[in-house]
Chain A
Amino acid sequence: MAQNVNPFLELQTDAAKQSNDSKKGSNDNHAVTKRLHNELMTLMMNQDKGISAFPEGENFFKWIGTIIGPKDSAYESLKFKLSLDFPHSYPYTAPQVKFITPCFHPNVDNGGNICLDILKDKWSALYDVRTILLSIQILLGEPNIDSPLNALAASKWQKQEEYKKYVIDAYKEA
């Protein structure tokens, strides 16, 4: 049946569909910006200890976050910068979060990619920048040794003295 459709007509409906899609896209973008704005407001209001985030320049879909290493861990009082990339389907899909500051950690690879379940399959639309940064802060002090991205870090975790040396060596303040 599809072969018998007038190609001109099909072209027209395609164009109409596309304009419809773009319209919907802009609507979605508006919703995403609104939510991100909302999150920024709560972040500024709450002033959580050791975390902060702010949009990078004009683009509301790229944020820079900072985490201060949790107390009584090898990362204590070290300041880490992270990049947060929000997809247009946020909050239905997770943002891409990466360490900008080099971080020696069992669940962080050399490129700064983080292995954290809530950023992958356990993502929920309820999570926001604040909960993501708090989760990563907790992850710094409590790594998941069983599925390491950085095998060296995982093997050194048991010897905290040596581990801390590696952390300090890798750390370069941005």
Chain B
Amino acid sequence: MASSSSTEHTVKDNAGDGAQNPETKEEDKKDDSMFECNICLDTARDAVVSMCGHLFCWPCLHQWLETRPNRQVCPVCKAAISKEKVVPLYGRGSSKQEDPREKVPPRPAGQRTEQEPGNSFSGFGFGDNTFHMSFGIGAFPFGFFTSTFNIGDQRPHAAPQGTQQHMEEQFLSKIFLWLAIVFLTWLLMA
């Protein structure tokens, strides 16, 4: 591309003595060639851009990839490319020009991710990676009250991850979990 654009410069310089009109025409032509498909050398139709930034018609690029399924590289810079990793270009009214007779698979759709939600939900208690588990033995009917109706119960937060205390807490909770399982199996066996 670089060489072709430079030759166009010299062409333009040669024609520099001409009237205003041809010069602007030349300028237009140069602008057009910016948007030429690198395979059919025509203005890109159903344009897609590879991750390395090179412009192609989707039908042209698709056929190029089909021709050599085991060596999928960009025709311009030989970077690895794949059908999944091209970005379609949507100009104004571009979708209306699509030809339904085209036998090539539809151009991959653009991928968009929604904006990250703000911090408004952080108080909900799910996000902070803490897991509480309690295990108790009590007289049956009263146990309900202590375990179910502890609405205002404020437990201390778990220690931040990676600290010594966090490790100890994890270890303890594992021990209690196993104790609970052993106890339950013993209950069932008995």
Q: Give A contacts to B, CB under 8 Å.
A: 24, 31, 34-35, 38-39, 42, 45-46, 89, 91-93, 124-126, 128
Contacts and interface: CB of A to CB of B under 8 A. Distances in A.
Contacts of A128: 41
Given A24-B103, A89-B67, A125 B42 contact: no
Interface string B53-82: 000000010011001000001011010000
Contacts of A35: 40-42
Interface residues of B, number: 17
5 contacts: A24-B103, A92-B64, A124-B76, A125-B38, A125-B60
B75 A126 contact: yes
B20 interface: no
A125 B39 contact: yes
B41 A39 contact: yes
Nearest to B33: A42
Interface of B: 4, 7, 11, 38-42, 60, 63-64, 67, 73, 75-76, 78, 103
Contacts of B73: 124
Contacts of B39: 91, 125-126
Contacts of A39: 41
B78 A42 contact: no
Contacts of B42: 34-35, 38
A39 B4 CA distance: 12
A95 B38 CA distance: 17
Contacts of B63: 92
B67 A93 contact: yes
Contacts of A124: 73, 75-76, 78
Contact of B38 (A45, A46, A126): A126
A125 B64 contact: yes
A31 B42 CA distance: 10
Contacts of A38: 41-42
A45 B40 CA distance: 18
Contacts of B40: 31, 34-35, 91
A93 B67 CA distance: 8
Find the residue from A34, A92, A124, A125 having the highest chain B CB count within 10 A: A125
